């Protein structure tokens, strides 16, 4: 149908919105490409030349959430404007998961899983025994599952961040 040359290596997965816009994280920016293959906009998420492994995730309201090697989580509107950033203690290679209430769950190299409210404030964080490159999953009952470099899978309560169990 079409190709779009980003000119750089792409190491994350793309996401698509209902209007057909394709979002991809490449070379320190989130790139929005229209369904006809033309550039819609770009928004910086770190320095040029950065390999960003976090894939974009789109919320119901159209907000795009993405982590970055600059130790931040970004909330970007569908028109390319930054809504907010959230500072973590290390790189963010994992991709976000969004709960039914809009909470954003995302891990970091600082060994924490963060639960972030849609306004960018922290709901809670949970410290694991290793860095988190794994993307979280939200179960139908609200339990949050995430893997860590410590070799464990964690099940966390979505409301409080309390450990339910680990394996």
Q: How much is the pLDDT for 88? A: 97
The pTM for the full model equals 0.95
Of 64, 74, 163, nearest to 113 (Cα)? 163
Tens digits of residue pLDDT in 79-94 = 999 999 999 999 999 9
Higher pLDDT, 139 or 49: 139
CA distance 106 to 54: 10
Answer for the pair 106, 73: CB distance below 8 angstroms, yes or no.
yes
CA dist 109 to 40, 132, 149, Å? Answer: 31, 6, 9
DSSP 8-state code for residue 126: E
Tens digits of residue pLDDT in 30-61 = 999 999 999 999 999 987 777 789 999 999 99
């Amino acid at each position: 149908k079409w190709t779009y040359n980003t000119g750089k290596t792409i190491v994350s997965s793309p996401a698509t919105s209902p209007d057909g816009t394709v979002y991809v994280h490449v070379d320190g920016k989130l790139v929005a490409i229209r369904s006809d293959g033309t550039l819609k906009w770009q928004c910086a998420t770190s320095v040029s030349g950065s390999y960003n492994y976090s894939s974009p995730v789109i919320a119901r309201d159209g907000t795009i959430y993405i982590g970055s090697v600059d130790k931040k989580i970004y909330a970007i509107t569908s028109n390319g404007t930054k809504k907010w950033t959230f500072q973590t203690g290390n790189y963010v290679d994992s991709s976000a998961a969004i709960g039914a209430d809009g909470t954003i769950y995302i891990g970091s190299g600082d060994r924490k899983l963060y639960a972030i409210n849609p306004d960018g404030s922290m709901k809670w964080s949970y410290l694991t025994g290793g860095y988190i490159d794994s993307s979280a999953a939200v179960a139908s009952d609200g339990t949050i599952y995430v893997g860590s470099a410590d070799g464990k899978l964690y099940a966390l309560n979505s409301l409080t961040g309390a450990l339910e169990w680990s394996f």
